Structure 1
Amino acid sequence: MKKVAVVTGASRGIGLAIAKKLLRMDFIVYGICRHPEKCQELYEDFHLIKGDLSDPNSIPKILNLLTEKDRISLLIHSAGIAYFAPVEELSPEKIVEMVQVHLTSPMILTSSLTRILKKNEGRIVFIGSISGDQISPWGNVYGSVKAGIHQYARLLFDELRKYSVKVHLVIPDITKTDFYNHLSIEPDQDPKSYLLPDQIAYVVEHLILDQSGFVVPEIVVRPEIFKIKRKKFKL
């Protein structure tokens, strides 16, 4: 019988790359995303569920759509949203949205599925960000909520290990996705200066398949060199 995985943010970027990797590993994947209709990747065992994690009240409805909920053995938190600006220019709505997507909803979703993950001796993977560990100009709120989910993952590791539930925190550096579409910076053209979603999915795959007898609770993934460029805006 195939194992069941839940992946947030599964319609694009890192979440989609992880979902496709899990499908090749013979998982049934339930992907939670805002706009499943925009995803062109269609597979027999890939079930996209429409859900807005900026509204934690939607989580019970999302859970009801997981028709094989009792078989879930893997939960991957990859959904994200980012707004970078001086603190006085961030609207209350954008601040709340980042807190809900990166902190509140992952905590509620994890809490809702923990009993099942304990029963199945499952695994939880959090996709963090280097912004949660380092100073990020104009990334005050985004870096803070990422730091929060990093700490949550670390505390959860110690709480759940006694129940044979493995918790991993994957912290990527600059990754070439549409994350930068609305920012004033973007990855440099040098391919050594950024990561690709498939590379993060590769790391997740190895964490899941590892049978060494020990657990890697946290791993930082960085490009070979550091380069970033500012976008040129037309006047």
Structure 2
Amino acid sequence: MKSAIVTGASSGIGLEISRLLLELDYKVYGISRYTKPKQIEHDKFVAVSSDLSEEKDWKPKVEAILKEEKELSLLVNNAGIGALGLHEEIEYNRLRKLLELNFCLPILLTRLCLRRIKENAGLILNISSTSALKASPIGAAYGASKAGLTSFGQSIFEEVRKTGTRVVNIHPDITRTHFFDELNFQESEDRETFLLPEDIADVVKFIIERKKELVITDITIKPQKHRLDKKRHNKELTE
């Protein structure tokens, strides 16, 4: 049975991608800090509770999965957090955690899983961000972490393409998830200004269903309009 690992699978984009993969008959190992999400009741979903910012916690659990799963063919590097504000004002430990989750984790996790995925001519999906593609004032570290992830994905594809393995960077713009819960900004209420996690899952389905000899290495998804609202002062930020 084909199997997949999805990080940050308990909510948002990771949850919707997990649902999609179950529909496509994958066995899904959903790794997140929370226990099994109530929204998924499926015998092919295996919830793996782990602090993904701590390698000593998640690494042995992934190694156990690899020992058991010879058919692992899909890795979704989705877990991540944000930090918006002037760089000098963002809490130091928040920045460290951001870099661990957004940049170090996918690189190290890919290192552990890559040989198995190559053996199965599989697929690696990196959930990056439009922030990776431009200057990101008030989000410098976040943008840098995602730019690093995108560059990593592009380079790894060149390493593994001869094995039939695909690597795709997905760059979503503002998406309605828990991403903004701990930030001073949030998506606008205007439906044309944000994406839904289901939209990203639809793109993942599109990628999976492409013929093997065609590889989309990078894909960007945006809502029709761009706007963020500042929570504290209800001040709109428009591009």
TM, length-normalised to structure 1: 0.93
> Contact 1:6–1:31 at 8 Å: present in 2 too?
yes
Corresponding residue for residue 12 of structure 1: 11
- Please state whether the residue corresponding to 1:26 is helix, strand or coil: coil
Corresponding residue for residue 175 of structure 1: 175
Distance apart, 1:53 and its partner CA: 1.6
What amino acid is the match of 2:61?
A: I
Corresponding residue for residue 21 of structure 2: 22
Distance apart, 1:233 and its partner CA: 5.3
Where do 5+ consecutive residues of structure 2 fail to align?
235-239
Corresponding residue for residue 41 of structure 1: 40
Partner Cα distance (1:35, 1:15) in 2: 12
> Contact 2:11–2:37 at 8 Å: present in 1 too?
no
- Please state whether the residue corresponding to 1:198 is helix, strand or coil: helix
Corresponding residue for residue 60 of structure 2: 61
Partner Cα distance (1:216, 1:38) in 2: 31
Distance apart, 1:65 and its partner CA: 3.8
Compared CA separation, residues 122 and 38, structure 1 to 2 (3 A):
closer
- Please state whether the residue corresponding to 1:70 is helix, strand or coil: coil
* Residues 148-173 of structure 1 deviation map (CA, whole Å, 9 limit, x = unaligned): 11110111111110111100000000
> Contact 1:12–1:39 at 8 Å: present in 2 too?
no
Q: Over the residues paired in the alignment, what is the CA RMSD in angstroms?
A: 1.7
Q: Identical aligned pairs, as a percentage? A: 33
Partner Cα distance (1:68, 1:182) in 2: 36
Compared CA separation, residues 36 and 74, structure 1 to 2 (3 A):
same
* Residues 73-128 of structure 1 deviation map (CA, whole Å, 9 limit, x = unaligned): 00001101112222222233112111111111111110111111111111100000
Corresponding residue for residue 98 of structure 2: 98
What amino acid is the match of 1:148?
A: G
> Contact 1:85–1:139 at 8 Å: present in 2 too?
yes
Partner Cα distance (1:68, 1:40) in 2: 26
Question: What aligned pairs does 1:1-235 form with structure 2 within 5 A after superposition?
Answer: 2-36=1-35, 39-66=38-65, 68-211=68-211, 213-232=213-232
Where do 5+ consecutive residues of structure 1 fail to align?
none
Distance apart, 1:24 and its partner CA: 0.5
* Residues 178-206 of structure 1 deviation map (CA, whole Å, 9 limit, x = unaligned): 11112222111111111000000000111
TM, length-normalised to structure 2: 0.92
* Residues 39-96 of structure 1 deviation map (CA, whole Å, 9 limit, x = unaligned): 4422111111012121123333122442642210000011011122222222331121
Partner Cα distance (1:191, 1:215) in 2: 31
> Contact 1:7–1:19 at 8 Å: present in 2 too?
yes
Partner Cα distance (2:76, 2:216) in 1: 16
- Kindly report structure 1 stretches of 4+ aligned residues shifted beyond 4 Å: 37-40
